[in-house]
């Protein structure tokens, strides 16, 4: 087995809201998120909640003028990326 074959990977999804990108945690339901965004776009403005890498909650205000893009990429596996907001990671605390 070559070294390339032994590397675990995962699909990472980036959602960009009005030019600002956020990587979704692995446990996010992309179909449900798309549905929430579509519903929010027909209102004057509605917050959509999601969990991003680092297991952190994020609320984004979606309006009919919002621009949203979704991209997917295969990246090395990160076992910390579970979507569990009770176990956040990132920043200075990971270094301790």
Q: How far apart are the first and last CA of the chain?
A: 35
Query: Is the predicted pLDDT of residue 94 greater than 80, yes or no?
Result: no
- Computed over its alpha carbons, how large is the radius of gyration of the chain? 15
Residue 26 confidence (pLDDT): 87
Predicted TM-score (pTM) of this structure: 0.76
Q: What does the mean pLDDT of the chain come to?
A: 87
Confirm if 82 and 25 have CB atoms less than 8 A apart: yes
Sequence-ordered list of residues with C-beta below 8 angstroms from that of 1, at least 6 positions apart, any chain: none
Residue 24 is classified by DSSP as: B
**Range 62-78 average pLDDT:** 93
Contacts of 32 (CB under 8 A, 6+ apart): none
Q: Pick the residue with more confidence: 17 or 76?
A: 17
């Amino acid at each position: 087995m070559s070294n390339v074959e032994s590397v675990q990977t995962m699909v990472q999804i980036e959602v960009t809201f009005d030019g600002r990108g956020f990587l979704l945690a692995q446990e996010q339901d992309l179909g449900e998120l798309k549905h929430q965004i579509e519903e929010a776009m027909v209102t004057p403005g509605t917050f959509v909640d999601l969990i991003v890498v680092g297991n952190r909650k994020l609320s984004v205000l979606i309006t009919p003028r919002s621009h949203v893009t979704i991209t997917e990429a295969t990246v090395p596996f990160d076992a910390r990326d579970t979507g569990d907001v009770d176990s956040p990671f990132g920043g200075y605390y990971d270094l301790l």
